[in-house]
Amino acid sequence: MKKIIKLLPLLLLVFAIGCDEDDTERFKVNSEAGWIEFATGTSGETVTIITEEVILPVRVRVPIFENGITVNYTLEAVEGDFSTIVSTGTSVTLEPSQAGPNGSPFVVNIPLVFEGIADLDEIIVFDVVLNGTSINGIAVGLDENSITRYRISTPCPLDVAALQGTYDVAEVFTSGINEGLSLAAAFGQSYQVEVIVDPDDPTQTNFILTNSIGFDQYFVDGNIATMDSCNGTVSFTTPLNLGDFADMTVLSSSYTESPAVITADGTLGNFGPYQFVLTKQ
């Protein structure tokens, strides 16, 4: 009886080892599992009028794909017709590969080719959406922090030709002790300015302000007015010296294209609230 009892632990140990070996053979780790996501720092961008191509990197967090892997994607319209400005495919492929000792990710790029953005008279917005892969079990995104939808927007349209030209200047102190006075009246001067797009600005939103020949200095020649075409506002080079007299702090601004009018309100030095209005001739 004692001999039988001593043998039992040995039999149990052999049986346990046998089960472990069988499990190892029967159940293997699925190395073709994981997820995909955009490898971008943000979930969208606004292209410029000179954008020709955008490359969107996709992170493939899969240890092994022996037969390669195809990442599928689509473009979804949000605003306007994106087909008039962009061309691309519907999938991109990575060749067969196996992760090194540090694991994934692999990266594959989605190319978007643009044309005609400068000719748009409306905003176009669309999403690039990851749909899945050619391997079952690979998820689109890991959690809520994964970027799986990337938004592309075009800039708000700006009619450069409508804004370029010669402008009359109307300026006045709008309130305070100098209300109703103007620099032109106070100094016996007359102002007129030229507005032309900055040839070195690829976005074509910066306009150079110069004083017309034969007129007194209102702006310092070369001052830049930058149009925010989405909000209809203007920012100016600082300091914004006016009439070779004092610097203006602009508190609000606006512009229109038809008619072309640029307006700025703020304070002129310590002399009080002040406004200038540029009106295209």
Read off the pLDDT band of 64 (50, 70, 90): confident
Give the per-residue pLDDT at 73: 98
**pLDDT, tens digit, 9 for 90 and up, residues 199-253:** 999 889 999 999 999 999 999 999 999 999 999 999 999 999 999 999 999 999 9
Cα angle for residues 121, 125, 130 (degrees, 5° grid): 155
> Rounded to two decimals, what is the model's pTM?
0.71
Q: For residues 140 and 212, give the distance between their C-alpha atoms in angstroms, rounded to a whole number.
A: 60
Instruction: Identify the helix (H) or strand (E) that includes residue 5.
Output: helix 2-26
Read off the pLDDT band of 2 (50, 70, 90): very low
Give the per-residue pLDDT at 9: 42
User: Which residues, listed in sequence order, are joined to residue 233 by a DSSP beta bridge?
Assistant: 228
Structure tokens at 281: 């001739």
Residue 100 has pLDDT above 70, yes or no: no
Q: For residues 22 and 192, give the distance between their C-alpha atoms in angstroms, rounded to a whole number.
A: 92
The answer to whether the CB of 85 falls within 8 A of the CB of 117 is yes
The answer to whether the CB of 117 falls within 8 A of the CB of 51 is yes
Give the per-residue pLDDT at 6: 44
Distances (CA, A) of 184 to 130, 181, 229: 61, 9, 31
Read off the pLDDT band of 67 (50, 70, 90): confident
Q: Provide the pairing of β-strand 34-38 with 138-140.
A: parallel
Structure tokens at 104: 């994934």
Give me the percent of the chain exceeding a pLDDT of 90.
Answer: 77
The answer to whether the CB of 261 falls within 8 A of the CB of 278 is yes
Residues with Cβ within 8 Å of 255's Cβ and at least 6 positions away in sequence, in order, are 163, 227, 232, 233, 234, 261, 262, 263
Counting DSSP H helices and E strands in the chain, the numbers are: 3, 21
**pLDDT, tens digit, 9 for 90 and up, residues 108-167:** 999 999 999 989 989 999 999 999 999 988 999 999 999 999 999 999 999 999 999 999
Residue 97 has pLDDT above 60, yes or no: yes
The overall average pLDDT reported for the chain is 88
The rounded Cα 119 to chain-centroid distance in angstroms is 19
Q: Walk me through the domains of the chain, giving residue ranges and CATH numbers.
A: 34-153 (2.60.40.2030), 160-280 (2.40.128)
Give the per-residue pLDDT at 36: 95
Among 129, 128, 136, residue whose Cα is nearest residue 70:
136
For the chain, the C-alpha Rg in angstroms (whole number) is 33
